[in-house]
Structure 1
Amino acid sequence: MIIYEAPKWVAKLPARPDHIPIGEFILNPAYGRADPAKSNPPFVCGITGKSYSVTEIAERVEYAARAIRRILKIDDINKGGAQTGFSEWEKVVGIFSINCIDYLTVCYAVHRVNGITSPANAAYNAAEFAYQLKDSKAKAIFTCAPLLDTALEAAKEAGISKEYVFLLPVPGEVTTAEMRKQAEGFRTFDDLVDEGRRLQALPDLQWENGFARKKVAFVSYSSGTSGLPKGVLISHFNMVTNVIQIIQYGKSFRDYSKPTNILALLPQSHIYALVVMNQSEPYVGNSAVVVPKFELVPFLDCIQRFKLSFLFLVPPLMILMAKNKALLDKYDLSSVQLIMTGAAPLTEELSLEMDKLYPWMKVVQGYGMTESSTVVTFTSGIDIWHGSSGCILPGIKCRIVNLEGEDLGEGEAGELLISADNIVIGYLNNKKANDETFVMEHGHRWLRTGDEAVVKKSSKGNQHVFIVDRLKELIKVSGFQVAPAELEGHLLNHPKVADCAVIPVPNDKTVEMPKAFVVLNPGVSPSEETKQELIKWVADHKSKHKRLGGGVEFIDIVPKSPSGKILRRLLRDKERDRRRAEGAKL
């Protein structure tokens, strides 16, 4: 067996507490976090500048938890936790909001009563959010005024009463007068905090050693290696581990002794933002400057105003930076030391261009997935190899295997397998997906990533991981996952469609976009009008990032294996050949 691990210059992973919730770990200095008195506020609103100190957030967690306990009618917060008799799934809370400074605080408050939080993509429509609510068995919802209509529609479908729908405070600049009027009468998170001040103190959680390894903190939804979204069971210890892995690795090129400000722009429901920006950075004493949505000018103003040192981005945003150099030159961006990109591959060409345009900003790239509680590899600032996803974090073992499961050496491409304490518990109520994704081999539990990777050695002697292709069939649109099976299922409901397949096609702004290959029913004309009808069919029912931005192409037959599996790779090859013939950049 060939094992790939962290470089020798990375310190070994220390022991981590496995008897406390993730919020306790992030906020309590007893567990290694930076001294609160010397720390920046963990979360700062990038629009208003509002913030709470570490101590204030801890108090808000405690007070809100008291109110949540009363609302969910939890007699004993330890039931369903270290004890038995009360199902933990009776304490699931859905979080459906744009970015705000209380997002993690409400998560920690739910955890404080032994509950589980299920973050949902703010771009979801009501049907998509309702699916997650029902699948996770959520009993309450925290949303925000701009998303209240959608949340209420989803709540109704999931059987959740309006009295269990609460609002997170978001900046007034992102709400209209109509939104604020509609939100009247709904209790806010601040209301719960105020109510909790008057309620009896909570008993301590009774977690024995090792309990945080099996206690679910988050049910985050991912399509995994294929198929429809599945609930990923992330334990408290999974997240504690990844936070420490990120920090331990970062010590090689970052100075954690001086608090700084970092950009927290990416959706807080996404595992990348949830762990890397909104927990790892506050743990070391930095401020995550929370921005609810991306607009280029406010984005640049935020960097200048808060003197941000570290930007966490995705490739489409870096493309905008590269193409708008004249505008960026009007702002003082000298504070930016590092840009980390993830959620989708960054090309070597774009990485080199950014390095040329903004030489004082080091561009680093990370790789991870929801099933690994985020980061598996990322580029060290002391060994940048453009196009690489960097080196492996401490405490993680990786293998590269071929189709027969045989281990491969450096320079040989195969599926990436991962074993570590940050690998999640599994999928919610999905034995088939668990059996396919998590396998026991050689005494270790391995996560099959579905990604094709190759390990190469840099000029400095470090092993770098390159993600070269996607064995799994997910489409990545601006960092969001789109399952082809979901769109195919929807298209098959259209009366003109006999069969179909969906694949990713390249896009400068979003990295990829879905494209549908459609077989029409007999007698239906393959016209431009029909194409637009199918594009509208998807746009009317799915989130913006799931729309058929790559278009529709009519074909005679969808290629399939003898077992009936769609051979999307053949369609991808066909699309690649077409683009090459047209002179497109691949």
Structure 2
Amino acid sequence: MPIIHADIHIDIPHTSLTEFILDRITPEREALPAYFEASTGRQLTYGEFKSSVESISRALADSSSPWGGIKQGDVVGVFAPNCVDFAVLFHGILRARGTATTANPTYVSSELAYQISDAGAKILFVHPTVLSVALEAADQVKLPRSHIVLLDAPKSASQGFMTFQQLLEIGSTLKPLPSIRFTMKESKNSIAIIPYSSGTTGRSKGVELSHYNIISNVLQIMRIEENHWKEGVDTVIGYLPLFHMFGNMLFLNVSPFALTRCIIVTKFDLAKYCELVQTYRVKYLHMVPPTVIQLVKSRVPDSYDLSSAHTVISGAAPLGEEVEKELWEKFKIKSRQTWGATEQSCSGTLVYEFHFGALRTLIRAYNPRSYMREWDPHQNGTIGKPLPNVDLSVRDPESNRILGPEEEGEIWSRGSNIMLRYHNNTKATQESLIPDPDGKGSWYRTGDIGKYDKTGVFTITDRLKELIKYKGFQVPPAELESVLLGHTLVADVAVIGVPDYVSQELPKAFIVLKDPQRASADLAAELVSYVRGKVAPHKRLRGGVEFLAEIPKSASGKILRRLLRDQEKALYEKRRVSEKARL
């Protein structure tokens, strides 16, 4: 079975994303809670959410506005941390036939300026906390001050800028916009959002995602997760960044489509997170590996009742087997990993709960609580199976030859959720999207190294560009990180290859200890020895161990290995220069 796909097929409607969402909010559902902002207590019902989206879309499209009204395909930037306004604005932009580009609120001005310029943003919505950065960026790209709008700010604190609240008031007095009823071609080719990739391997790339792409991924996720997003019943905690497609997909699209309540969290704090789980009896925790690690390693959760939670859905980066096991042993919470990328709209695979067959499904129907509390070692450390309408294959990285079960190679993905192209980057598009000779669409080269077993369950072993090359052997950093996280003193870890004249690269571990006071040369040697006993000789930590206060990571939780590699490369070059000088 060289090409793996789900046994389930779903039909994707040809419509706009926002009307796909808003059509779900029928009159009898308008009183259901939609969004609650944890830091301010602000909340919206679905009726208020819908009317606010309509109002903001009218104000954006108004020809008398400072920007002359946005039109089909005009790009609107959003530079803000998580807030309720973000959710309304995103769908307001799309309802006005515009395209959103969401920027990381931790960007410096040059990074933001690049995205504004590259995406061609006509307006920029900014949170007051990052206004100074936005103004510097706006000056660099000559974006007029009149095209900057403040989010989440009262008129009294507007600092002379137009506010989101003012636009809502203006929009409420304007005529409704015509409905958007896309044809199949329009749905597949109209760009809904241009998010930018994390840039862990270089400058960020804009990813063009169509309305059809995102609607596909919403339905792909819901087809598998429909029992976990109960209308008017379930609550999800939206702490994942809304500018990132993991948070965007789950909390701006899946949650309102499912009509569940989403608690918006501006900044992750473990104690506050546990308090929200306890108060709202949250069942499903959507997390990224760094916060899962924090949950299992910290003593903070001991002060809270987390008994309502039975499943963690983890994504954005691989979660090690040892962490999954510790999560189960400590809380009786099982983890189900999802795998994907911005280029896949969000998700391409998920660990299915029902792969054990009819008997387990029957047990679940009669006693769902006991079913959810079962530990499934078969799926431990895997990313599950392809979502509906997704095809996966594993390819030899050099020849592109399709590989079979248990053969490790680069994972390629094809499906209705795959991006249109990289924005303004034909070269990158051609390198990443490979047309299929059978005419079934392009394959996306994910850059992830993995394999699948005879049942079609996939496992990620590493990133193609992150593999360490030691004397011709390939060493996956994620494997060594998983081993080290099993040590009782280790809180977090990142492994990279450091330059070596003889061996090409040596594996080196950067480690955060639970107790930083324990850092010593003796402990470093102990950790090197600990790994030596658990891996093949070529995977040993010949580059040593270095203790850090924290591991550098992106907002989505991915380890920024590039920063560590650059640091080590500079040290290596400095040593080489010194050696040459001595000679």
The reply to whether TM is greater than 0.5 is yes
Distance 1:257-1:52 versus aligned 2 partners, 3 A rule: closer
Deviations 1:184-220 (A, max 9, x none): 3222212101011122332333533331110000011
Counterpart position of 1:124: 107
The whole-number CA distance in structure 1 between the counterparts of 2:416 and 2:221 is 13
Which of the numbers 179, 194, 197 marks the counterpart of 1:222? 197
Map residues 6-25 of structure 1 onto 2, 5 A cutoff: 6=6, 8=7, 11-13=8-10, 15-18=11-14, 20-25=15-20
Counterpart position of 1:436: 431
SS of the equivalent of 1:222 reads coil
* Aligned partners of 1:226 and 1:473 also within 8 Å: no
Map residues 193-232 of structure 1 onto 2, 5 A cutoff: 193-205=168-180, 207-222=182-197, 226-232=201-207
Distance 1:25-1:510 versus aligned 2 partners, 3 A rule: farther
Within the alignment, does 1:50 sit opposite 2:42 as a pair? yes
The whole-number CA distance in structure 2 between the counterparts of 1:145 and 1:513 is 37
The whole-number CA distance in structure 2 between the counterparts of 1:286 and 1:543 is 23
SS of the equivalent of 1:262 reads strand
Counterpart position of 1:3: 3
Counterpart position of 1:552: 568
Map residues 31-430 of structure 1 onto 2, 5 A cutoff: 37=29, 40-70=32-62, 71=65, 73-74=67-68, 80=72, 88=73, 91-169=74-152, 183-205=158-180, 207-222=182-197, 226-251=201-226, 254=228, 256=230, 259-325=233-299, 327-359=300-332, 361-382=333-354, 384=376, 385-402=379-396, 403-430=398-425
| Structure 2 spans left out of the alignment, 5+ residues | 356-375, 469-476, 502-547, 577-583
Identity %: 30
The whole-number CA distance in structure 2 between the counterparts of 1:285 and 1:111 is 19
TM-score (norm 2): 0.75
Distance 1:548-1:404 versus aligned 2 partners, 3 A rule: closer
Counterpart position of 2:452: 455
Letter in 2 for 1:342: G
Cα distance, 1:428 vs. partner? 0.8
TM-score (norm 1): 0.75
Letter in 2 for 1:314: V
Distance 1:267-1:225 versus aligned 2 partners, 3 A rule: closer
Cα distance, 1:276 vs. partner? 2.2
Deviations 1:407-435 (A, max 9, x none): 11111111111110000101111111111
Cα distance, 1:34 vs. partner? 8.5
Within the alignment, does 1:469 sit opposite 2:442 as a pair? no
- The structure with the greater share of residues assigned to helix is 2
The whole-number CA distance in structure 2 between the counterparts of 1:149 and 1:38 is 38
| Structure 1 spans left out of the alignment, 5+ residues | 81-87, 173-179, 476-502, 520-534, 560-586
Letter in 1 for 2:12: R
Which of the numbers 446, 464, 467 marks the counterpart of 2:443? 446
Counterpart position of 1:498: none
SS of the equivalent of 1:268 reads coil
* Aligned partners of 2:207 and 2:342 also within 8 Å: yes
Cα distance, 1:256 vs. partner? 3.3
Cα distance, 1:392 vs. partner? 1.0
CA RMSD of aligned residues (A): 3.3
Cα distance, 1:278 vs. partner? 2.8
The whole-number CA distance in structure 2 between the counterparts of 1:513 and 1:149 is 36
* Aligned partners of 1:40 and 1:260 also within 8 Å: no
The whole-number CA distance in structure 2 between the counterparts of 1:261 and 1:235 is 28
Counterpart position of 2:521: none
Distance 1:108-1:357 versus aligned 2 partners, 3 A rule: same
Letter in 1 for 2:97: N
SS of the equivalent of 1:354 reads helix
